[in-house]
Structure 1
Amino acid sequence: MNVRILVIEDDADINEVVRARLERAGYDCTGAYSGSEARLLLGRTAPADGAGDGCGYDCIVTDLMLPGMSGERLVTMLRERGAGVPIIVISARDTVADRVALLRLGADDYLVKPFDLDELVVRVQAQLRGRGYGSSAGSASSGGHAAADDDTTPDDHPVLSAGRWTLDSAARTFLIDGRPANLTNTEFNIVELLMAHPNTVFTKQQVYELCWNEPYMVDDNTVTAHVSKIRAKLKPSGTDTYIRTVWGLGFKLDV
């Protein structure tokens, strides 16, 4: 059965990567970029008499701070309609009071930004299993870090190319237009990680654990500071924009 998920998030980058990850897990996703658009989609697919879930989707992932209609109001509207669809909230609001208030309104789960995309997939699977959908959708693609498209590592592809960049993992060299760029060991690891998985978002925790090879027990500014230094070194070549910040999630290579 085709499981349909509505992703409601006004940040286009976050909406895109969340849908891409869920689609890779086997789900059919629709994006909405405002509360008003979500309300139209939910109304368009709802049975006229409000029977059943009354929304036409099997799961909803929604932010709270939305244009037109807030996430809180959407949750309330669905529950007042009698929709039993599982609702997972993703929000930068991280107080216990916020989480408790949303759960009391009728949300089923709550993830605080920045969140791990793999964790979101697992939470979606858990909610769907609880409603009798089983675990076939998403099970084959949910393992490992959300950032990795497969089980390969940078060592499996010693020479990487992206735009005007060339990186040789074995020789530990990084070139821009064929000219060497001076990166520290950690900066090289970060660039190598992003080049090995282009257009894939890595959270700060993932970047730290994969590039420092130790548990994430530092301030978020550690990773941000290193990325800023890399961009400063790349700026004279005009390729500093290759490393893109996806607000609320992390970083990705976008060439």
Structure 2
Amino acid sequence: MTPFKILYAEDDETLAFLTKDNLEQHGYEVTHCCDGNLCLETFKKGGFDICIFDIMLPKMDGFELATEVRKRNADIPIIFLSAKTLKEDRIKGLRLGADDYLVKPFSIEELLLKIEIFLKRSQKNKALEKPLYSVGKYAFDPANFIVFNDDEKISLTQRESELLKLFLDNQNVVLKREAILKSLWGDDDYFMGRSLDVFISRLRKIVANEKGITIENLHGIGFRFKCE
């Protein structure tokens, strides 16, 4: 199993060494940074599961660092470790989006427990996220009715989104026209059929330049979303 990756910012070399060593002995992969700027640049490279930040960091303090991290990732757990004991500092840290605030000196057992709790919560939330689909050069987000890539975002109607998801869940399978209509509308009358043709025409335009992707019309039967 791949170890969870921790991004750890602390300028006290002795404390950083002891904390990093303890965390690694418990199976975590720890990347340590001694100042805020370096930590932010390291975070931008991605791949971390949780952040642990001291507040009194050189070049960029922990509060500013957490603010920048939150701009880029709203979900990654952040734990502050600080010698600052004022209630105002704790409240400020939590308002910036931190998940917890431990006052130094802290016990490694408490830190390990916090890490375990927040990683479990984070992984559970990820499991609940609705997946994106791959459609050639595009990603498809069925929850938000969009097809997108780095250069383009195409908004779909709810029915178009439901139809595309139905096709992607049944790639290379012949779907009877009546089954599609009943799945989307609960009916298969003439007017719904005409609407289906319009939606399929729109989806065909989106995938028109995607190599290996076609929406086949099987006359008198239905459609097949082919992905080679």
**TM-score bracket for the superposition, by shorter chain length:** 0.5 to 0.7
**One-letter amino acid matched to 1:3:** F
Residue 95 of structure 2 corresponds to residue 104 of structure 1: yes
Q: Any residues of structure 2 matched to 1:173-188 within 5 Å, and which?
A: none
Q: Any residues of structure 2 matched to 1:104-183 within 5 Å, and which?
A: 104-132=95-123
CA distance in 2, matches of 1:25, 1:4: 12
Kindly provide the CA deviation profile for residues 110-162 of structure 1, in whole angstroms up to 9, marking residues without a partner as x: 000001011101110011011127xxxxxxxxxxxxxxxxxxxxxxxxxxxxx
Residue 94 of structure 2 corresponds to residue 94 of structure 1: no
CA distance in 2, matches of 1:74, 1:80: 10
CA distance in 1, matches of 2:110, 2:70: 25
8 Å contact 2:4–2:29 — kept in the other structure?
yes
Query: Structure 2: which 5+ residue stretches go unaligned?
Result: 125-228
CA distance in 1, matches of 2:19, 2:8: 8
CA distance in 1, matches of 2:29, 2:107: 20
Instruction: Give the match for residue 242 of structure 1.
Output: none
CA distance in 2, matches of 1:10, 1:83: 25
Displacement of 1:83:
3.7
Q: Any residues of structure 2 matched to 1:1-255 within 5 Å, and which?
A: 1-43=2-44, 45-46=45-46, 56-132=47-123
CA distance in 1, matches of 2:74, 2:38: 18
8 Å contact 2:5–2:49 — kept in the other structure?
yes
* Structure number having the greater helix percentage: 2
Bigger radius of gyration: 2
8 Å contact 2:79–2:100 — kept in the other structure?
yes
CA distance in 1, matches of 2:43, 2:123: 22
CA distance in 2, matches of 1:24, 1:95: 32
**One-letter amino acid matched to 1:130:** R
CA distance in 1, matches of 2:8, 2:87: 23
Higher-RCO chain (CA-CA 8 Å, sequence separation at least 6): 1
SS at match of 2:123: coil
Instruction: Give the match for residue 53 of structure 1.
Output: none
**One-letter amino acid matched to 1:110:** Y
Q: How many residues of Structure 1 are paired with residues of Structure 2 in the alignment? A: 124
SS at match of 1:79: helix
CA distance in 2, matches of 1:2, 1:92: 29
CA distance in 2, matches of 1:5, 1:92: 21
Query: Structure 1: which 5+ residue stretches go unaligned?
Result: 47-55, 134-255
**One-letter amino acid matched to 1:84:** D
Instruction: Give the match for residue 150 of structure 2.
Output: none
Q: Percent identity?
A: 38
CA distance in 2, matches of 1:4, 1:83: 17
CA distance in 2, matches of 1:62, 1:91: 8
CA distance in 1, matches of 2:81, 2:52: 7
Displacement of 1:96:
1.3
